[in-house]
Structure 1
Amino acid sequence: MQADKLKKYRPYPTVPLKDRTWPDNTITEAPLWCSVDLRDGNQALRQPMNLEQKLEMFQLLVDIGFKEIEVGFPAASKVEFDFLRLLIEDNLIPEDVTVQVLTQAREHLIRKSFAALQGVRKGIVHLYNSTSTLQRQVVFKMDRKEIIQLGVQGAQVIREEAERFDGDIRYEYSPESFTGTELDFALEICEEVMGVWEPTPERPVVVNLPATVEMATANIYADQIEWFIRQMKNRDCALISLHAHNDRGSAVAATELALMAGADRVEGTLFGNGERTGNVDIITLALNMFSQGVDPKLDFSNVNRVVNVYKRCTDLPVHPRHPYVGDLVYTAFSGSHQDAISKGMDAVADDASGVWAVPYLPIDPKDVGRTYESIICINSQSGKGGAAYIMDRQFGYKLPKSMQPGFGRVVQEKTENIGKELSSKAVYTVFEREYLQEEGYFRLKEFNVLKRHIDQQEDMSTADVEAVLFVNGQEQRLRGTGNGPLDAMCAVLNDQAELYFVLHSYDEHSLTEGASSRAVTYIELMDKREKGSREGWWGAGVDTDIIVSSIKALLSAVNRMHAGR
């Protein structure tokens, strides 16, 4: 940045709080939550939601578990007014949900808000007026006393309306732009408003302290909240509420630290939708708590539904890297990450404690309705572990460790050739083409075990086998003897097909359960002509007969060795 531009800006003042306590605290329980998606979130949209979209969003918020929902500013527009009337008249507000309405400290707006609330069982009237130093000086041209008078007059009208209202009305006050307001003045005006409403511990008011514009680091917001709570009178008669915006990109952190400082309640939106850079993201806040073993009291076990409804109602995208809910947040492309995740998943599966501890995955994707299918995806940056993980978790093939590098190279070559990510199905297709297709220089037509010889005294056995192969397209009938069918087939190929290999590794497992289960066999051959080779030629075979699957795997390895793959 140009040095002369810096002269335009001044550092935000710190809070004189030398004995602050919040840094030693932790979040051990969820706050009270209030969604402002239908008000803060809605007013920030290029095209505000229509009634149908508002209804769908309201139902989503109810299903997630919000007990307080700010449904709009009914005195500001007909759509806002009509929406609240629809909720009330069609009895769409559950008994345990309180709807909240926003109003400025102006008498006619307050009275219209109460008209919109007629018939509601439980409501919160949220009064605000701007208190910031800058707005007092530049926008309103008013001093502190005049600003306080505005807030007090608004509070008096609200109390007057509430006392004759046939329903349960609670009060909320926001000194708008709290973070731009001198702390002593913010405290003064809040206490003056509380003095009008006369709250009790049994019926506290909500004192909402918004970072309407995020102006400083998260720790300063926490200091402001702790200072305010310490200084205010009748603390037990107020619920301290947070309403953070994200201008500096730290609304989540600021809210978490402010909760540690003693706040009781949080207002925010799904995905942080809101003016400028948005409001605090309640999904991230809630799942951050969840990841620490704290019940957030909100249900995000089906984030796919939340994403779909949000997109449909707001016409906004969700970034693929959005914490916890983005399409790619549980996906690893890096080879080292894939290897660590794969090992972590295996360790969790073997751990009877049930504790989640997987590298790179702070929560189990299944807990938010995601599957393991997308944890590892394959592109040119992926390593051997990723492809092996997909083959194991999605298709049941547990590739031997020393087989994985070779398969990884085959997959990487494919991704580099096509220049994009490989789907799980495409990874399997690569494996099938490379190892399982019964094509190549040597092809099996028939295989029979002619005779088994068991010598009980010598504790050994031999087998006579016959195989009909297509060798470079020509049918040949070959016979041989070995310690078992596989050893006999190795001898046949070495002696009669003039190959030069030794069987180095053998592994097998069942692919499916039951009497008709299929077996998969993996075989590694070392070429005798390649002196000092540390990696052999792997093949794989699948069949319901374990002997046949091993012969298929042997020919798979022989064909790959013959082709130099």
Structure 2
Amino acid sequence: MKEISLLDTTLRDGEQAPGNAMNPEQKLQIAQRLMEVGVDHIETGFPASSNFDFEATRLIASKLRGVGIATFSRTLISDVKLALEAGGREKTHTIQMVATGSDLHLKHKRNISREQAIEEVVKTVEFAKQASDCRIAVGIEDASRGDFDYMGEMTQAAVAAGAHQIILADTTGYATPSEFKKLISFIKYKAGKGISISTHCHNDLGLAVANTLAGIEGGADEVQVTLGGIGERAGNASLELIASSLHFKPEIYNAKTNIRLEGLYQTYQELCSTIRLSSTRNQPIFGDYAFGTAAGIHQQGILANPDTYEFVKPDVFGRHRELFVSRHSGKSIIKYILEKNNLLPCADFVELLYEECINSRVENSCLSMQQLESEVKSLFIYLDKTA
């Protein structure tokens, strides 16, 4: 089974999105948590962009051992020099340099030709190779809208100059899974043996996770992700969903990661606290009610056998199953509470308890199991005494 490397860019792509800013000490704390859950490489920031990112990179590189770090640079020697100064010149440091992949970006963003873009890549890769022992990665920006022949030429030029990895970025969330898989397969062929291929997918159409998984099917060796899917605009492919998909569907992807799933939720909670991020109720894995239900039919099945409505298991992530009570709940949960507490009422009692505790609830009124259990026990005792 293929082992997929995970490069987490929470501290760079995730942190640069509005509202997500962190100082160097906060970045270090999150980086330590990411290391503990098994992330292979942690992208620390863009050292040439600000003193904050420079200092954060230097701090993380000096404190963390046993995990790779990565930095972001443009295809400029000046950027790479700063990245090396901040992150070091060792093999554990990945120098990522972003190259221009689409004609749209070449014309309207860079105002350079394809030939000039490739020349930039070659010169900067050659400098990085001469100046360090770092892993050198060339990220092709807007690759999903780029011309295949041009990107193939850039890939081969980068590899000849000394690049160890090519990153394909779906920068605007443009690709579909079939398109992205085709791109990954093509560039892997062009790069040749021994060159790592990585994915970097954005979520503008909600396809970042699907495209990343398609990239793995297409031969990607590494994927770039963020915790909770935070990132520019609609975000990035989320670490927890990629790791979970490979955990629960290994036979489909024939791939695995080193991620310790049981530590992800606690790490996410720390991130949320740091950047004051609120989780949504229905977010997969991390959502408030990701493992909770108020539907009577579901509750009846779960109480009989959790597998009926749980394929993704809460305990895998250090979370717990939650049954909530609302007007959508049925009598089975009342019977369950009574049996659990060795209370054996007649059928009329069950009906009465159901009417008083559940059916009479107004719309959107919702109780936890603990609250319902307290109500049922109190009401049962009262009814039993007055019967």
The question of a shared fold, defined as TM-score above 0.5 by the shorter chain, is answered with yes
SS at match of 1:301: helix
Aligned with residue 325 of structure 1, among 277, 286, 290? 286
Which residue is 1:496 aligned to? Answer: none
- By how many angstroms is 1:256 displaced? 0.9
Following TM superposition, by how much is the alpha carbon of 1:216 offset from its aligned partner in structure 2, in angstroms?
Answer: 3.1
2:365 to 410, 420, 429: 420
Q: Secondary structure at the match of 1:323?
A: coil
Aligned residues of 1:38 and 1:72 also touching (Cα < 8 A): yes
Q: Does 1:77 align with 2:54?
A: no
Judging changes above 3 Å, is the alpha-carbon distance between structure 1 residues 159 and 251 closer, same or farther for their aligned structure 2 residues? Answer: same
Structure 2: distance between partners of 1:388 and 1:29 = 48
Per-residue deviation, 1:105: 0.8
Work out whether residues 54 and 313 of structure 1, in 8 Å CA contact, stay in contact via their aligned partners in 2.
no
Q: CA deviation at 1:264?
A: 0.9
Q: How does 1:16-165 map to 2 (within 5 A)?
A: 29-46=2-19, 48-89=21-62, 92-94=63-65, 96-118=66-88, 122-162=92-132
Structure 1 SS opposite 2:282: coil
Check conservation: 1:385, 1:404, Cα contact below 8 A: no
Q: Quick one: which amino acid aligns to residue 115 of structure 2?
A: K
Residues 330 and 365 in structure 1, CA contact (< 8 A), matched pair in contact too:
yes
Q: CA offset at residue 269 of structure 1?
A: 0.3
Q: Which of 139, 148, 156 in structure 2 is aligned with 1:174?
A: 139
Deviation at 1:400, TM superposition (A): 8.0
The answer (yes or no) to whether the contact 2:73–2:83 under 8 Å persists in 1 is: yes
50-59 or 395-404, larger mean C-alpha shift: 395-404
Q: What's the TM-score, normalizing by structure 2?
A: 0.91
Per the alignment, do residues 97 and 429 of structure 1 end up closer, same or farther by CA in structure 2, a change over 3 Å counting?
closer
Q: Superposition pairs for residues 436-515 of structure 1, below 5 Å?
A: 436-437=381-382, 440-441=385-386
CA distances 1:163-211 after superposition (whole Å, capped 9, x unpaired): xxxxx411111111111111111111011011111x6xxxxx1111111
**Within-5 A mapping of 1:37-436:** 37-46=10-19, 48-89=21-62, 92-94=63-65, 96-118=66-88, 122-162=92-132, 168-197=133-162, 205-230=164-189, 232-233=190-191, 235-292=192-249, 295-345=256-306, 358-372=307-321, 374=322, 376-390=323-337, 395-397=340-342, 407-416=353-362, 420-436=365-381
Tell me how far 1:401 sits from its aligned partner.
10
Root-mean-square deviation (CA, aligned residues, Å) is: 2.3
1:426 and 1:53 map into 2 onto residues whose CA distance is 37
List gaps (5 residues or longer) in structure 2.
none
Aligned-partner residue type, residue 222 of structure 1: K
Which amino acid counterpart does residue 333 of structure 2 have in structure 1? Answer: G
1:410 maps to amino acid: E
Q: Report the equivalent of 1:475.
A: none
CA deviation after TM superposition for structure 1 residue 132, in Å:
1.0
Q: Counterpart of 1:327 in 2: which secondary structure?
A: coil
Matched residue count: 382
Q: Deviation at 1:406?
A: 5.1
Measured in 2, the distance between the counterparts of 1:85 and 1:303 equals: 25
Measured after TM superposition, the shift of residue 217 of structure 1 is 1.9
Contact 1:73 1:81 in 2 (8 A): yes
Structure 1's 120 and 317: CA in aligned 2 closer, same or farther, altered over 3 A?
Answer: farther
Cα distance in 1 for partners of 2:269, 2:126 equals 43
Rounded Cα–Cα distance in structure 2 between residues aligned with 1:180 and 1:342? 49
* One-letter code aligned to 1:371: H
Give the CA deviation at 1:111.
1.3
Q: Structure 1 residues 390 and 215 mapped into 2: Cα distance closer, same or farther (>3 Å)?
A: farther
The Cα offsets for residues 234-276 of structure 1, whole Å up to 9 and x where unpaired, read as x212111011111110111111112111111101100111101
Distance 1:67 1:161 in 2: 24
Which secondary structure does the structure 1 equivalent of 2:204 belong to?
coil
1:102 Cα deviation after fit: 1.1
Q: Is the 8 A contact 1:40 1:274 kept in 2?
A: yes
Which sits farther off after the overlay, 252-261 or 221-230? 221-230
Structure 1 segments unaligned to the other structure (5+ residues): 1-27, 163-167, 200-204, 346-357, 442-558, 560-565
1:384–1:409 Cα contact (<8 Å) kept = no
Which amino acid counterpart does residue 118 of structure 1 have in structure 2? G
How far did residue 323 of structure 1 move? 0.6
Distance 1:419 1:156, change over 3 A: closer
- The answer to whether the 8 A contact 1:88-1:119 is kept is no
**Could you say what secondary structure the match of 1:214 adopts?**
coil
Instruction: Kindly name which structure, 1 or 2, has the bigger radius of gyration based on alpha carbons.
Output: 1
In the TM superposition, residue 97 of structure 1 has moved relative to its aligned partner by: 0.9
Conserved 8 A contact 2:166-2:196: yes
Can you list the C-alpha shifts for 1:36-66, whole angstroms capped at 9, x where unaligned? 1111111113251012211111111111111
Residues 155 and 120 of structure 1, relative CA distance in 2, 3 Å threshold = closer
Contact in 1 for aligned 2:25/2:56 (Cα 8 Å) = no
- What is the rounded CA distance, in whole Å, between the counterparts of 1:268 and 1:438 in structure 2? 56
| Residues in 2 aligned to 1:30 and 1:381: alpha-carbon distance in whole angstroms | 44
Question: How far off its partner does 1:440 sit?
Answer: 4.5
Query: How many Å apart are 1:87 and its aligned residue?
Result: 2.8
Supply the distance in 2 between the matched residues of 1:379 and 1:438 (Cα, whole angstroms). 22
Give the distance between the partners of 1:391 and 1:304, measured in 2 at CA. Answer: 33
Q: Which string of whole-angstrom CA distances, capped at 9 and with x for unpartnered residues, describes residues 283-326 of structure 1?
A: 01111222235753201214441232111222222212111121
Query: Residue 334 and residue 262 in structure 1: after superposition, are their counterparts in 2 closer, same or farther (change >3 A)?
Result: same
Distance 1:434 1:157 in 2: 77
**8 Å contact from structure 1 (residues 129, 176) kept in 2:** yes
Identity, % of aligned pairs? 23
The residue matched to 1:46 in structure 2 has which SS?
coil
- Which of 1 and 2 has higher RCO (CA within 8 Å, sep 6+)? 2
CA contact (8 A) 2:175 2:211 kept: no
**2: CA distance, partners of 1:133 / 1:332:** 49
Query: How far apart are the structure 2 equivalents of 1:33 and 1:437?
Result: 58
Find the aligned partners of 2:346 and 2:174 in 1 and give their Cα distance.
53
* Greater helix content: 2
SS for the counterpart of 2:292 is coil
Q: Which amino acid aligns with 2:296?
A: G
The 8 Å contact of residues 73 and 80 in structure 1, kept in 2 or not, is answered as yes
- Is this contact kept in 2: 1:252–1:280, CA < 8 A? yes
